[in-house]
Amino acid sequence: MGKLVEGVWHDVWYETKQNGGKFVREDAGFRGWIQNQANAEFQPQSGRYYLYVSLACPWAHRTLIFRALKGLEAHIDVTVVCPDMLDNGWQFGLPEPLFGHQYLHQIYTQAKSNYTGRVTVPVLWDKHTNTIVSNESSEIIRMFNREFNQLTGNSDDYYPEPLRAEIDKWNDFIYPNINNGVYRCGFATTQEAYDEAFDNLFAALDKIDQHLETNRYLVGSHLTEADWRLFTTLVRFDAVYVGHFKCNKKRISDYPNLHGYLKELYQVAGIKQTVDFYHIKRHYYFSHTKINPTQIVPKGPDLGLEKPHQRGGL
């Protein structure tokens, strides 16, 4: 863990006392936007942008998915951090190629020397202005979804205007209860905070499983951004969150509709290549020593995500 304070790295865990034992996620510190407009500060150009990600992190995973779905692999290069996040936070196995830095926090201070805040992935870097465009995954995926279409010729739209209100509604429900809900369980430091997060998490999963009984995707028959934002939590759930974060009422494999839905999304072309269970399990179990002090990484489970899927009457 850790954070920067006025550009200086500090190895500190999350502070929960002032929130009654509840984990509260910090907002992203860089919120620039790539726009396909002549006067935009950040314009979509091949080779201009660089993406720093962790294969373990569900927020970074979103950006890799949209990079794949939108055909951006040839236009936006990627550096993957090591799964181990220890005293110096996210680290690179080899010095990263742009500046030769060893730690992700050095990328943050490269952009802003007196930066204060958590050092998170993903990070979208602009090589022209030598700064971070954004470290907010939900906004990076929307840039990837729309702003590079003229460059790639890929007009697939996962946030179409007629469906935005419904997509936003699902996002607003899924983020606090599921995406961040698993962390609110795992990082809680009081029984009351954990119980509240746990109950909200499984009530939300129950609701979505019931919804998927009669809907192929969250927004009916349309595969949208909301599905991919949910997917990155679901795909980690049985391997990590059930045991490590004490989210153990049910596994996703125990939900008939959610499990089939997860397998269907995993089998979309290009998606399984963005999933790395070695990085996922190694990061959580080895890096979170306050939760797992032995750092033992479990060998299982066998998730069977490539097996045929079937959901209700769909």
> CA neighbours within 13 Å on the CB side: how many for 161?
0
Phi/psi of residue 113, nearest 5 degrees: -65, -25
DSSP one-letter code for 18: G
Q: What is the DSSP string of 243-266?
A: HHT---S--GGG-HHHHHHHHHHH
Judge whether 82 counts as a catalytic residue: no
Burial class for 231, CB neighbours closer than 10 Å (0-12, 13-18, 19+): buried
Q: State the catalytic residue, choosing from 183, 255, 284, 285.
A: 183
What is the rounded CA–CA span in Å between residue 262 and residue 303? 11
Say whether 234 sits in a helix, a strand or coil.
helix
C-alpha separations of 98 from 40, 101, 299 in Å? 24, 8, 35
Contact 42, 32 (CB under 8 A): yes
Judge whether 183 counts as a catalytic residue: yes
Q: State the catalytic residue, choosing from 49, 50, 52, 57.
A: 57
> Which residue numbers are catalytic?
57, 183
